[in-house]
Amino acid sequence: MRCISDTGEQIGLLSTSEALRLAESRGLDLVEISPNAQPPVCRIMNFGKFRYEESRKDKLARKHQNTTVIKEVKFHLNVEEHDYTTKLHHIEDFLGKGQRVKTSLMFRGRENEHRDLGHALFERLQRDCEKFGVAEAPPKLFGHNLIMLLKPQKAGKGEGGGPASAPAVPPPPRPAAHPVG
């Protein structure tokens, strides 16, 4: 078998018994690296230390994995301008940190008749967020909720800007009050 020392230098072709004797004389283990090669390749190393270092590498790789975090911001149809800008600022912060944002708007009572105003609010939100995020899909209606997912803008596209530098867009019109009776 071909044998490699613990320092990485080629020892040469040795019999199994010679390689084992050499490894034991150094207080190390003989580990078969490539059993299918001709001749098979073995390395003299501390196998316990090797396994420990491999587990540390695996742990470090798991530590650096990106986990997808979805934050939720809830709106109502009659959101005031200050509340809208505050929520817009929160969305900008979340998207700036690389997190996805789920925006939802719940229609209550008579608001269900004015769902077009909810779509207009989300269109405005998309325009205001275009510098730092983009909608994954158009807003979708699930029961009484209108939902839209925003994802961070790719690097390089969303530089600068934000709610302060976004063009001022007037709020959507409110539904006219209808007399009951």
Question: 30: domain CATH number?
Answer: 3.10.20.80
53 domain residue, yes or no: no
Residues 86, 138 within the same domain: yes
Domain with 91, as residue range(s), is: 70-152
Q: Which two tokens stand for residue 79?
A: 């959101």
What's the pTM? 0.51
Q: Are residues 89 and 146 in the same domain?
A: yes
86 and 40 fall within a common domain: no
**pLDDT at residue number 8:** 84
**Long-range pairs for 110-113: beta carbons < 8 A, 24 or more residues apart:** 110/175, 111/77, 111/78, 112/144, 113/175
Determine, yes or no, domain membership for 106.
yes
The total domain count for the chain is: 2
pLDDT by residue for the chain (181 residues), tens only, comes to 899 888 888 888 888 899 899 889 989 988 888 888 888 999 999 888 889 988 999 998 888 877 778 899 999 888 899 999 999 999 999 998 888 999 999 998 888 888 899 999 999 999 998 888 898 888 999 888 999 999 998 765 444 444 444 455 565 665 555 555 4
Place of tokens 């929520």: 87
Q: Are residues 106 and 42 part of one domain?
A: no
Q: Do 94 and 43 lie in a common domain?
A: no
Cα–Cα nearest to 141, from 119, 162, 156: 119
Output the domain CATH number for residue 93.
Answer: 3.30.110.10
